Copies of this chain bind each other. A is one copy, B any other.
Amino acid sequence: MELVQIYQCFCDPTRLRILHLLTQTSLCVCHFQEVLDEPQVKISKHLAYLRARDLVETKRSGNWIIYSLPSRRSAELELNLQCLQDCTVTDPVFRKDQQRLTRLQAKCCEPAGVFAKESNPFKIQ
């Protein structure tokens, strides 16, 4: 039952928040840190957990490791990600994360932004 693995990944609040962000955009670890306001080791280990169970994929770009949802997803995963998105709409935690992500994207992509150059994770995808 592949389903169980999906739910194991879903059953931690930090991982849920990570997955919620990934339904919006790919992200590198430091941006997860910033949006979720959690220590690097915590983020990194939850990402490793998700990666070991094929819920995320990685791509290196210079010093960054860009995390994204798998390009090819099983029907079960697709359904559950959609369901998760429906559930996050009303929850304050997810909404706040969403706002912080939007602000981070704006900051990084404005002309004088910290990551305004070619190395901007939001532009790599």
Contact = CB atoms under 8 A, between A and B. Distances in A.
Contacts of A106: none
For the residues of A in contact with B, the DSSP-based class is helix
A3 interface: yes
User: Interface extent on A, as a size class?
Assistant: 20 to 34
B76 A87 contact: yes
Contacts of A88: 3
Copies assembled = 2
A16 B91 CA distance: 24
Nearest to A83: B83
B1 A93 contact: yes
Interface of A: 1, 3-4, 7-8, 10-13, 16, 75-76, 79-80, 82-84, 86-88, 90-91, 93
